[in-house]
Structure 1
Amino acid sequence: MNQNASADWVETSEAMPGIRAFIIEPPGLGVALRVSIAQAAQPAVGGQSDALDAVLYATDADYLFGTVANSARVGSFGGEVAPAVIVGIGYAEETGDLRFVSQRRFLDFYRGPRRSFDAGAYGSFEFGGADAFLDALRDHIVPMVERHVPGIDPARRVLLGTSAGGHFAAYALAKDPAFFQGYAMMSPMLVDPQPLVGGKVSQSSGVGAMVRLIEDLPEDALPPGLRIFLSAGDREEDPGSMFADYRIISNALHMRSVLARRGIDTEFVQFAGESHGSVTGAAIGRALRFLLPPAGSRPDWQAALAASER
């Protein structure tokens, strides 16, 4: 063999085996989405395999899809997480430098009214389009995925979001509580952000408006069988940190208390030494283990829902 010969370098359209991507432009959203789908992995040895797979929908796919998909597939292969199809929702216009998503996500993930937000040195953002994004998810993305991907159990849908995506997950819970059976709100912005006043965050920006939204729901609004994961890094409220004034830890704990009083199965994890950005990988792993437990170690969501209808 000639050690000096160069190996061929051939580009392929498939970034990783078992992952496909589609473009969809839902009516009324005003932007095209890139939907990435990772097939479920089955346990390597032992463990029970379900006839149907759970499905997890992850917002912020331009940031998170690879981490979520790989964590889920390795966890399933090792028998610690139930086999699940992972669906990442990103933006067709994002080119890889995160400039597009860093602007657009604020419009899609925060509830209305539609408004501009001046973040000082960070620029200006549009907020308030969560209703249109939720409609796109429920009416177009979920039906498309579950129609074209065989073997999905629609009774085991999970929604995962971080930061602004955690705000959206809380809003989706309030608007249509039974559409997903599991929710991950990681480092969630459970507030309605207000423009800076004199270059500073106003006191009202830290008020947990999304917690109040859940608290004010009718007593029977949240169906039995829901599982909700909340998390934060323990440095997220450190004085001087970028997100300190938004009380991410405090509001997440308050949200957990509100949910627990309604009998919802929750888990809250506060990760030592982690900030708003650094905590994401650890939080994803714990969220998957809580929301997608393997067969034989999870509650029967369908039985819980059936019991509530009797």
Structure 2
Amino acid sequence: MRIPEPTSLHSAAPFTLALDAAASRLDGIERFPAAELGSAGIVRLSVATPTRRTRGRRRRYPLLILLDGEAIFGSAVEMSRLMAQTRELHECIVLAIDCAADERETARRVHELLRWSGERYRIAGNDVALFGAGRAGGHAIHALHHVAGLAAAIASAPAHCESAEQQPAADAQTRRLLLYAPIGSSCRALIDGMNAEVAISHAAPGWPVADLVRGLRTLWSTGVQGGKGYEVFGRAWLRPVLLAASAPLSLARKWQGRPPSAGNPHRIRSRSLERDFELLAVLPEPRAVGHRHALPAVLVLDANLEFSTAAEAAHALAAAGVSDDAVVVGIGVPRSESTAEFAFRRFEEFSPPLDGYDFSDGMGRIMRGLFALRGQDARERLGKAPLLYRFLCDEVLPLLHRHYCIDPQRISLLGHSAGGAFSCYALLQQDSPFSGYAGISPGIGMSGFWLRRQLAAGAAPAPSARTIVLSIGEEEDEGESQGSGISQTAEFARQLRARARAEISYHCYDGESHASTYPRAVTQALRKLLGRAGD
């Protein structure tokens, strides 16, 4: 393979994004490169406000402030919104701000930021939390002690806290401090003198976003179990009702209108599926671009939901020296299409072949009920995984090879939920070009447990497979997860081990739901898929 000039890695492809630009593509993002914060001076700010479909005229939202949070801003926004969509977390406003060199100056910035944001956004005054990791974790603890109006702080492995000579905040609000160890001795001294409820837990290894998600679930949980509520669509009596209502719903979708696709450099047309996708690619930091060797690549499904999280995790692991630099590629649905369109396309494109599946099980009944909402028959819409597979192999990968210097022996596929089921479907294709596969909470039960039936019938993983990473969250043994077969992932991994020569790992993450498991799972998956060559 001819190695392109280093500059071409950046300039050749119109769908290339900087890491912060990937987060900027999310809805409701505002960037303030020079915000005036009163006595705190000029600072850089990034803000994510609630999406339109959840925004209420009088509703007020919790506020999450990320200290030194630009490197995880996209992840914080995606994960907080994903858990809000599953109704297990209250949706919040997210702000990212740089720490100052001094803790007192950071506390001053936080104080002014509370005033600034209160004038612009509808904030629930008793639900304001800070998050920081390492040095920023120490600053978060200091600010919680001294800044009025803060309700909580989440600190991941806080590194250092200066002695506090100032008086503590003069309000009567009860404060909560969630600490994820290890904790520096100077921080422990300050914690011992604080008037706050303190909870200490083990830190998640590798990446602080997992600690952030755990902290948010502790602070702002709705009490709703993720995945509950879909069972109603499986009731047979409901389908005729939904079909009767589908005509006005379909007309309403037509009236919505969509922006023209012209000028969107990320939009590509699939020949196999005859529909549009968005292609996003984030390159390694400049330190790696000059390397005269091909780079591994990871294709991330569901780019609309989780692309920034995967890309930021990959960059953090490479910067820490625990994985190789890589090109991270996202495959998603054009954002000009509605949220509902995206949801239904996931079911269609990620589901394995139907092969006589009669839709008589719980998941089949749910799918028929959901598609009846659109006046469609799920039996005619699902099972498009073979077409999506051909799109990736015959159209996307050649396009990537034309623009980037990618190692053809180190291309991985990563998916979550229904996307995880598709990753496992690709694993069972004998001509698969992928060497690594990650299925996070995969829908093993899709298309009548097609994946397990194939293995039982003698199918084997692709000869190209070298690394297979499967995982679920501990809470995924109830509700929707049972019907989707996620709880059978461990048994699927056992079946694979009997037939594959690849390295196969399976993990169940304690205390995690279908949504919250993603940061921990994607970090571990990327470690294995992108582990340093030769290690």
Which range, TM-score by smaller chain? 0.7 to 0.9
Shift in Å, 1:244: 2.3
SS in 2 for 1:32: strand
Match of 2:274 among 30, 39, 55: 30
Q: Which residue does the alignment assign to 2:489?
A: 252
Contact 1:174 1:217 in 2 (8 A): no
Residues 32-91 of structure 1, C-alpha deviations (whole Å, 9 max, x = no match): 1100000023779xxxx7822101111111011110111001111111111110110001
Q: By how many angstroms is 1:224 displaced?
A: 6.5
Partner of 1:130: 385
- Give the whole-Å Cα distance in 2 for the aligned partners of 1:137 and 1:285: 23
Deviation at 1:226, TM superposition (A): 1.4
CA 1:211–1:51: 2 relative to 1, 3 Å = same
Deviation at 1:252, TM superposition (A): 1.3
Structural mapping, 1:67-216, within 5 Å: 67-92=309-334, 94-95=335-336, 98-113=339-354, 119=366, 123-124=370-371, 126-149=381-404, 151-176=405-430, 178-193=432-447, 208-216=449-457
Higher Rg: 2
Post-superposition offset of 1:295:
2.8
* Alpha-carbon separation, structure 2, partners of 1:209 and 1:284: 24
Kept after mapping to 2: 8 A contact 1:58/1:160: yes
Rounded to whole Å, the distance in 2 between the matches of 1:28 and 1:223 is: 24
Please give the secondary structure, in 1, of the residue aligned with 2:270: coil
Q: Deviations over 1:85-118 (max 9, x none)?
A: 01100012x2497332111111100022499965
Q: Deviations over 1:266-297 (max 9, x none)?
A: 11111011111111121111100011101331
Offset, 1:119 = 2.4
TM-score when normalising by structure 1: 0.75
Aligned to 2:468: 228
- SS at 1:172 equivalent: helix
Task: Structure 1 unaligned segments of length 5 or more: list them.
Answer: 10-15, 194-204, 298-310
SS state at 2:507 partner: strand
Answer whether contact 1:157 1:180 (CA < 8 A) is retained: yes
**C-alpha distance in 2, partners of 1:287/1:34?**
23
Deviation beyond 4 Å, 4+ runs, structure 1: 3-7, 114-118
Q: Is the 8 A contact 2:430 2:463 kept in 1?
A: no
Match of 1:65 in 2: 307
Alpha carbons 1:40, 1:53 under 8 Å: kept: no
Q: How many residues align?
A: 265
Match of 1:287?
525
1:106-143 residue CA offsets vs partner (Å, 9 max, x unmatched): 11000224999652897225311111111111110111
Contact 1:167–1:185 under 8 Å retained in 2: yes
The Cα shift of 1:218 comes to 5.3
Partner of 1:271: 509
Ranges in structure 2 where 5+ consecutive residues have no aligned partner: 1-35, 45-69, 72-263, 372-377
Closer, same or farther: CA 43–4 of 1 in aligned 2, 3 Å = closer
2:321 maps to a residue whose letter is G
Secondary structure of the corresponding residue to residue 294 of structure 1: coil
Contact 1:43 1:78 in 2 (8 A): no
**Partner AA of 2:279 in structure 1:** V
Give the secondary-structure state (helix, strand or coil) at the position aligned to 2:266.
strand
Q: 1:140 to 1:147 in 2, by over 3 A?
A: same
Q: Partner residue of 1:301? A: none
In structure 2, the CA distance between the partners of 1:177 and 1:236, relative to structure 1 (3 Å rule), is farther
The one-letter amino acid paired with 2:416 is T
Give CA deviations for 1:131-156 in whole Å, capped at 9, x if unaligned: 1111111110111011112x211110
